[in-house]
């Protein structure tokens, strides 16, 4: 299987796309086609959020899509959230979520087309809409990941970083490219990040376990989330800096990302986890604009506690991230081994209390009155100015340092070692 997604439009195939090309957004349905009988027989609950049908500026649909499925009998719950910061200009591809019933394995992935490195237009749709290399790169990478997972699940392809890399190279090599007037070491053809988790249910003894393989290039991330240990990162950003708080403060350039014109590497590691557990992949629109790394976990769990269904959870996540991010944001989540949404929510209630006590109630006074990204122009902070805010920057920095110091050991439990750098 892979799930069903609610789409507002289906762009035609890019010129030069490989034979069998499936338009972006249809990839997950296409995955189901070769093996429908053996695939997960879920009837996904399609979540069309209240805002989903409301036209946005210029008659465009509001840029958000969520998708989810909750099958408590099988202990499988999945969702994805996708939003654009600027309507019609988003460069994240839609998240990929798939679970193959017969082989007991699945995959979730996100793709963030890199606008700075791939800003040049490379493809024009039949309606005249021009698309950048970043936009095309993210969607072609999604297509490649879709095919890779199909072949892993149904054709015996080895699930390794190297085989995923070769699928990406194959598809990107056949995607539309245009020679740009701009060169230089920042430029890439069809650049995108990729963060995925391939998982497999195994039963070596009586208890089922989960074999996990995070796979990534760039600065999108994969996580495991469990009630006792909280959010733990499974990937290390391909940047020269690896401290998550410092990454928030500097937003450094990437040293490795998926692209069509240079060597890149798919990084990976293998882990075993017991059930139940939640797997998450997210682009930096979710975790790159928060005040401290713990805020992302707080966002996930506070919205979970406020939701009555998985559809509501996805919609609350979407609303929460749109209120604080300055970027496109996409997230894929799979929960395995819980007895439905209520069980999941109940198991994380205590963890949210702990997070709230340690990282929310300790926030410096005035922090939440700062201008948001949406309204923040130069000098816009002046309206929030008052005497008690005079030392706010220093207090925020001190709070960030201390909360990160407390949160970091658990968060970095599975942080992999650094990859040799790419220039």
Residues near another protein (CB under 8 A) are 85-86, 89, 115-116, 119, 181-187, 239-241, 248-253, 255, 288-291, 326-328, 370-373, 376-379, 381-382, 384-385, 389-394, 396, 421, 423
Residues 68, 184: Cα–Cα separation, whole Å: 42
Nearer to another protein, 354 or 421 (CB): 421
Least Å from the CB of residue 298 to another protein: 15
Least Å from the CB of residue 244 to another protein: 12
294-306 vs 310-324: helix crossing angle, rounded to 10: 140
Q: Pull the structure tokens for residue 141.
A: 């990478």
Least Å from the CB of residue 183 to another protein: 5
Least Å from the CB of residue 89 to another protein: 7
Nearer to another protein, 198 or 291 (CB): 291
The 3-state DSSP class for residue 195 equals strand
Residues 155, 139: Cα–Cα separation, whole Å: 23
Residues 94, 78: Cα–Cα separation, whole Å: 14
Least Å from the CB of residue 238 to another protein: 12
Closest CA to 354 of 227, 222, 233, 224: 227
Nearer to another protein, 391 or 401 (CB): 391
Q: Pull the structure tokens for residue 268.
A: 């990976």
Least Å from the CB of residue 253 to another protein: 6
Residues 57, 43: Cα–Cα separation, whole Å: 33
Cβ atoms of residues 248 and 288 within 8 Å? yes
Least Å from the CB of residue 366 to another protein: 9
Nearer to another protein, 117 or 144 (CB): 117
Nearer to another protein, 239 or 281 (CB): 239
Cβ atoms of residues 175 and 132 within 8 Å? no
Least Å from the CB of residue 306 to another protein: 23
392-411 vs 294-306: helix crossing angle, rounded to 10: 80
Nearer to another protein, 115 or 346 (CB): 115
Nearer to another protein, 22 or 392 (CB): 392
Nearer to another protein, 84 or 146 (CB): 84
The secondary structure of 347-401 as a DSSP string is: HTHHHHHHHIIIIITTPPTTGGGSPPTTT--TTGGGGG--GGGTTHHHHHHHHHH
Residues 18, 121: Cα–Cα separation, whole Å: 19
């Amino acid at each position: 299987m892979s799930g069903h997604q609610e789409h507002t439009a289906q762009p035609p195939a890019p010129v030069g796309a490989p034979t069998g090309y499936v338009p972006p957004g249809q990839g997950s349905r296409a995955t189901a086609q070769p093996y429908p009988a053996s695939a997960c027989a879920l009837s996904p609950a399609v979540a069309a959020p209240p805002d989903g049908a409301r036209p946005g500026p210029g008659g465009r649909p509001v840029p958000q899509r969520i998708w989810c499925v909750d099958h408590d009998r099988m202990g499988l719950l999945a969702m994805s959230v996708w939003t654009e910061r600027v309507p019609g200009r988003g460069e994240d591809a839609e998240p990929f979520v798939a679970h193959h019933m017969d082989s007991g394995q699945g995959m979730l992935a996100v793709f963030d087309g890199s606008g700075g490195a791939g800003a040049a237009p490379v493809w024009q749709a039949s309606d005249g809409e021009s698309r950048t290399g970043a936009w095309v790169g993210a969607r072609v990478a999604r297509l490649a990941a879709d095919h890779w997972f199909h072949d892993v699940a149904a054709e015996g392809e080895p699930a390794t970083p190297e085989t995923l890399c070769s699928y990406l190279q194959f598809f990107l090599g056949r995607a539309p490219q245009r020679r740009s007037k701009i060169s230089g070491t920042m430029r890439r053809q069809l650049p995108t990040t990729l963060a995925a988790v391939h998982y497999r249910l195994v039963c070596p003894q009586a208890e089922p376990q989960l074999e996990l393989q995070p796979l990534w290039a760039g600065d999108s991330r994969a996580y495991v989330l469990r009630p006792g240990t909280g959010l733990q990162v499974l990937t290390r950003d391909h940047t020269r800096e690896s401290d998550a708080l410092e990454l928030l403060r500097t937003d450094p350039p990437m040293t490795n990302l998926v692209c069509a014109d240079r060597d890149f590497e798919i990084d990976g590691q293998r882990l075993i986890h017991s059930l139940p557990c939640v797997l998450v992949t997210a682009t930096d629109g979710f975790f790159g604009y928060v005040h401290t790394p713990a805020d992302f976990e707080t966002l996930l769990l506070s919205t979970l506690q406020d939701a009555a269904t998985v559809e509501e959870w996805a919609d609350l996540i979407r609303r929460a991230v749109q209120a604080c991010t300055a970027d496109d944001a996409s997230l894929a989540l799979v929960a395995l081994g819980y007895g439905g949404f209520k069980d999941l929510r109940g198991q994380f209630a205590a963890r949210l209390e702990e997070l709230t006590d340690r990282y929310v109630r300790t926030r410096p006074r005035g922090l939440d009155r700062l201008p948001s990204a949406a309204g923040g122009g130069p000098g816009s902070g002046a309206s929030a100015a008052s005497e008690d805010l005079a030392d706010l920057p220093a207090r925020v920095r001190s709070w960030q340092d201390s909360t990160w110091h407390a949160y970091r050991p658990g968060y970095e439990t599975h942080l992999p070692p650094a990859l040799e750098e790419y220039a």
